[in-house]
Amino acid sequence: MKTIHLNSTGIILFLSFYLISATAFSQKESIVYIGKNGKSTTIEHAEIIQKTRVKSASETIVQSLAFQDSKWRKVYSEKLTKVNDSTYHIRSNNDKGESESVTRIYYPLANGTFRFKDIHKGQVIRIGNSTTKIPLTLEGEVTEFYKNGQKK
């Protein structure tokens, strides 16, 4: 039987490598439960579950699941790419295979929330307030627009 002896330098190098690689390859995940009218709730009252996974400082994935046929199913997915502190490019896909790209611009408000504007092909399609950037947690009134610019 072979015995491996590590001196203190070897142990420190091993632990340093382990901590650096664990930090570099770790991903942060959070879950938010959404109830009626898009408000946060508990899992018992949730209509939507949003799973957020931070892949890097500039890329985040948000998956939305809905309770269908007695189980949670993925219905929507967004890949958010940070352009700068106030702008994100969002590529979204739904469960029907449809996708679209949106640019979302955030404007910080004095109360710590954000005003946001979603733009698709140069046209504003939605504006409103949110308490968070990612995932978008709607607060108050949200206005959506048709392709011709009229309010929905």
Q: What is the pLDDT of residues 115-143, one digit of tens each?
A: 999 999 999 999 999 999 998 888 888 99
The stretch 37-57 carries a mean pLDDT of 88
pTM score: 0.76
The stretch 14-27 carries a mean pLDDT of 44
**Cα–Cα distance, 146 to 34 (Å, whole number):** 25
Question: Starting from the edge strand earliest in sequence, which strands make up the sheet with 87-94, in order?
Answer: 28-34, 48-56, 59-68, 71-84, 87-94, 99-108, 114-120, 123-130, 138-144
Q: Are 49 and 32 in contact (CB under 8 A)?
A: yes
* Residue 20 confidence (pLDDT): 46
| Residues 52-109 pLDDT 10s | 999 999 999 999 999 888 899 999 999 999 999 999 999 999 988 899 999 999 999 9
The stretch 11-35 carries a mean pLDDT of 58
